[in-house]
């Protein structure tokens, strides 16, 4: 790895402080117990998810489990937000499937390595800060869409094992259970949800999701109830992940094959991870860490690619399980990864006996807790554009993937904002005692309002000197400059002079870059930033 990247990593404060490990109150026995039990709960929920997403990508289940272990461990150690859980995800798996089908799993490992390097670069250059551009309506739609996706992904467990074909988001389509099998499955799911709901009212010694899984699992095993279990999906028995350099030709042709996939995977992984970062931050009251999370995701994926894993990113459902179970420090995430490794190495026969109904019940409670139910009231109170964005992002999330939905939501929000501002540009006109006409502009001048700006003026009937006052406006972009130059040209052809006043410093800089000559004005000592622009031979210059 280049030395400048290593130096940037050293400067990014990846070493977690003591509070991130112990919590605000220090590491007491009670806190340690909560963190470990929360990690155990998350590990149990990770198993079927990792296996399902491995099936989506068309790789062996252990490839998904190794990714869940390695990505989860590394991001827990150095990630930007204690409490977050990362692993193999459906949004990445649906992109990988075409690569694996056409070129094989070795190309997938190489792609994951390059994906990680790109994510490290995003963290080093602090690109994670752009997540701030995601508006609140987009976040609301994202959360609601996520809850629906988690719900739909669980429906595959109500289908006959072996009949389901897993597609995007881990959603399966197959033959539904019927008769007593369906009734039993529904009953166990309902029992798990009831235990999770009632347990906090009785005791907080054990996280409610873990209690639900444990009680239902014991009931099923002791009574010999015939329901689908984890082992019906695939065996999770395996060894330690082994160092493995991807067996692909180190040529430019290989690079051309894996680069497009790496770019897409890196972008999707970072978008999901940074949105999860914000979501967990709202629950835990923490802020920041975007660049650190980018680096952590990148390091995790680079390492995973060299150990035969399919890569991954933040898992919002498992992160919600963790924080709702009390996990607030890095200990919970580390524990979840280590428990998962223990399952793979030693406890596979036992874990494979856990009924899927118990895990479905846990995820259904995550759905209920994740969905923003107050959004139904919000939709009636917010502007129509915001309501449309909320619904749009929700629908696109369900139909495609989370990252695409967020990008679409941001673009629509930006266009709506631009349109609203484009309609706000106004001008108040008055004449000075000297006979000059002053246009006082209100509202921003940018690409969206440039045409309307030109329609505010009447060069044919205006006097010989026209002053455009930008005290209540600002020149924002090149389109604004073009509009000013076009206006100046009209007045020049009419044999009249044009002056611009009260431009802010950033507008001065923009006009300077465009090659305009600025002369400070003495008629506005309070602002000290005014400039006059005259029209000489078709060029905006000093007047």
pLDDT tens digits, 124-183: 999 988 888 889 899 899 889 888 988 988 888 888 866 656 555 556 667 888 899 999
Interatomic CA distance for residues 333 and 483, integer angstroms? 55
443 φψ region: left (φ > 0), alpha (ψ -120 to 50), beta (else): left
Distance of alpha carbon 264 from alpha carbon 249, whole angstroms:
22
Q: What is the pLDDT of residue 501?
A: 86
pLDDT of residue 388: 95
Q: Is the pLDDT of residue 63 over 50?
A: yes
- Stretch 90-111: mean pLDDT: 92
Chain centroid offset of residue 11 CA: 24
Share of the chain above pLDDT 70, in %: 86
Q: How would you list the strands of the sheet with 437-442, edge to edge?
A: 426-431, 437-442, 465-472, 497-501
Rounded CA separation 15/17 (Å):
7
| Alpha carbon 309 to its chain's center | 22
Query: Distances in Å between the alpha carbon of 183 and those of 23, 164, 193?
Result: 43, 19, 15
pLDDT above 50 for 539:
no
- H/E segment holding residue 393: helix 384-399
User: Residue 252 burial (CB < 10 Å; 0-12/13-18/19+)?
Assistant: exposed
Burial 413-443 (b: 16+ CB within 10 A, else e): beebeeeebbeebbbeeeeeeeebbbbbbeb
Confidence at residue 168, expressed as pLDDT on a 0 to 100 scale: 54
Which tokens in the block code for residue 447? 């690409």
**Contact at 8 Å (CB) between 421 and 448?**
yes
Q: How far apart are CA 316 and CA 143, in angstroms?
A: 9
Q: Specify the pLDDT at position 541.
A: 35
Two tokens, residue 202: 């009785």
Q: What percent of the chain has pLDDT over 90?
A: 52
**Taking Cα atoms as reference points, which of 123, 57, 453 lies closest to residue 273?**
123
Confidence (pLDDT) at 159: 84
Q: Output 303 or 514, whichever has higher pLDDT.
A: 303
User: What is the rounded CA–CA span in Å between residue 124 and residue 3?
Assistant: 12
Lookup result for tokens 């994202």:
142
Mean pLDDT of 121-126: 94
- E-assigned strands of 391-479? 426-431, 437-442, 465-472
Looking at per-residue pLDDT, the higher value among 8 and 26 belongs to: 26
Report residue 371: phi and psi, to 5°. Answer: -60, 130
Rounded CA separation 515/517 (Å): 7
Q: For residue 343, name the pLDDT band (cuts at 50, 70, 90).
A: very high
- The single-letter DSSP state of residue 17 is P
* Token output for 72: 């989860």
**Assigned token pair, 151:** 């719900």
Question: Which residues are paired to 534 by β-bridges?
Answer: 541
Residue 384 exposed, middle or buried by CB count within 10 Å (0-12, 13-18, 19+): exposed
What pLDDT score does 422 carry? 78
Report the C-alpha gap between 310 and 343 in whole angstroms: 19
- Which DSSP letter does residue 238 get? -
Q: Is the pLDDT of residue 67 over 60?
A: yes
pLDDT for res 522: 44
Q: What is the pLDDT of residue 521?
A: 45
According to DSSP, residue 445 is labeled: B
Structure tokens at 282: 């709202």
Q: Dihedral sign for Cα 463, 465, 471, 475, please.
A: positive
Q: 């995820």: which residue's tokens?
A: 363
pLDDT of the residue at 310: 96
Q: How many residues make up the chain in this entry?
A: 543
Tokens of 286: 């923490």
Q: Is 131 in contact with 355 (CB distance < 8 Å)?
A: no
**pLDDT band at residue 506 under the 50/70/90 scheme:** low
Residues 6 or more apart whose Cβ sits within 8 Å of residue 384: none
- How far is C-alpha 324 from the geometric centre of its chain's CA atoms? 20
* 526 pLDDT more than 60: no
> How confident is the model at residue 152, as a pLDDT?
87
Rounded to whole angstroms, the Cα distance separating 411 from 106 reads: 36
423-541: CATH number: 3.30.750.24
Q: Residue 516 has what pLDDT?
A: 43
Model confidence pLDDT, tens digit, residues 314-332? 998 899 999 989 998 999 9
CB 142 within 8 A of CB 275: yes
Higher pLDDT pick, 309 / 513: 309
Q: Do 286 and 20 contact (CB within 8 A), yes or no?
A: no
Rounded to whole angstroms, how far apart are CA atoms 37 and 353?
19
Strand partners, 519: 532
Q: How confident is the model at residue 27 (pLDDT cuts 50, 70, 90)?
A: confident
Q: What is d(CA 276, CA 374) in angstroms, rounded to the nearest whole number?
A: 20
How far is 358 from 493, CA to CA, in rounded Å? 79
Query: Is the model's pLDDT at 306 over the cut of 90?
Result: yes
Both tokens of residue 241? 């992940």
Q: Are 46 and 317 in contact (CB under 8 A)?
A: no
pTM assigned to the model: 0.76
Residue whose pair of structure tokens reads 């056409």 in the numeric block: 102
Instruction: For residue 536, name the pLDDT band (cuts at 50, 70, 90).
Output: very low
Q: What is the mean pLDDT of residues 483-501?
A: 88
Backbone angles phi, psi at 339, to 5 degrees: -60, -40
Fill in the DSSP letter of residue 462: S
**pLDDT by residue (tens digit) across 176-235?**
888 999 999 999 999 999 999 999 999 888 899 999 999 999 999 999 999 989 998 889
Query: What does DSSP assign to residue 240?
Result: -
Give the DSSP letter of residue 501.
E
Give the Cα separation of 158 and 507 in Å (integer): 61
């Amino acid at each position: 790895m280049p030395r400048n990247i290593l130096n940037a990593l050293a400067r990014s404060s990846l070493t977690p402080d003591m509070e991130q490990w112990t919590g605000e109150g220090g590491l007491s026995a009670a806190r340690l117990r909560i963190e470990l039990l929360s990690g155990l709960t998350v590990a149990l929920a990770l198993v079927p998810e990792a296996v399902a997403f491995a099936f989506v990508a068309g790789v062996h289940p252990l490839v998904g489990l190794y990714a869940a272990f390695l990505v989860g461990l590394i991001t827990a150690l150095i990630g930007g937000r204690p409490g977050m859980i990362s692993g193999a995800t459906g949004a990445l798996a649906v992109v990988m499937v075409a690569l694996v089908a056409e070129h094989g799993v070795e190309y997938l490992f190489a792609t994951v390595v390059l994906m990680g390097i790109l994510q490290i670069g995003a963290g080093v250059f602090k690109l994670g800060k752009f997540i701030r551009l995601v508006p609140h309506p987009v976040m609301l739609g994202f959360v609601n869409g996520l809850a629906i996706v988690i719900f739909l992904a669980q429906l595959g467990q109500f289908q006959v094992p072996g009949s389901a074909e897993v597609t995007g988001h881990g959603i399966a389509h197959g033959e539904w259970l019927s008769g007593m099998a369906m009734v039993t499955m529904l009953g166990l799911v309902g029992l798990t949800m009831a235990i999770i709901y009632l347990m906090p009212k009785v005791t907080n010694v054990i996280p409610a999701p873990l209690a639900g899984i444990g009680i239902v699992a014991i009931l099923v095993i002791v009574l010999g109830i015939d329901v689908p279990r984890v082992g019906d999906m695939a065996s999770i028995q395996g060894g330690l992940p082994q160092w493995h350099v991807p067996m692909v030709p180190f040529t430019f042709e290989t690079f051309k094959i894996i680069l497009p996939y790496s770019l897409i995977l890196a972008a999707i992984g970072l978008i999901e991870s940074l949105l999860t970062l914000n979501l967990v931050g709202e629950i835990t009251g923490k802020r920041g860490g975007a660049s650190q999370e980018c680096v952590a995701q990148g390091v995790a994926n680079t390492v995973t690619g060299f150990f035969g894993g399919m890569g991954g990113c933040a898992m919002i459902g498992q992160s919600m399980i963790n924080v709702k179970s009390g996990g607030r420090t890095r200990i919970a995430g580390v524990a979840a990864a280590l428990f998962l490794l223990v399952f793979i190495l030693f406890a596979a026969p036992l874990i494979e006996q856990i009924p899927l109904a118990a895990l479905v019940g846990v995820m259904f409670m995550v759905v209920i807790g994740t969905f923003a139910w107050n959004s139904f009231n919000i939709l009636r109170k917010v502007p129509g554009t915001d309501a449309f964005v909320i619904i749009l992002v929700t629908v696109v999330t369900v139909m495609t993937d989370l990252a695409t939905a967020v990008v679409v939501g941001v673009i629509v929000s930006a266009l709506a904002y631009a349109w609203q501002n484009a309609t706000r540009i106004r001008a108040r006109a008055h004449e000075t005692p000297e006979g000059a006409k002053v246009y006082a502009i209100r509202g921003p001048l940018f690409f969206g309002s440039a045409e309307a700006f030109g329609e505010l003026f009447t060069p044919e009937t205006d006097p010989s000197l026209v002053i455009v006052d930008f005290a209540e406006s600002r020149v924002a972009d090149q389109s604004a400059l073009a509009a000013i130059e076009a206006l100046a040209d009209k007045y020049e052809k009419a044999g009249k002079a044009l002056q611009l006043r009260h431009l802010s410093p950033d507008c001065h800089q923009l006009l300077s870059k465009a090659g305009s000559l600025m002369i400070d004005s003495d008629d506005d000592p309070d602002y000290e930033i005014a400039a006059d622009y005259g029209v000489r031979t078709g060029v905006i210059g000093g007047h």
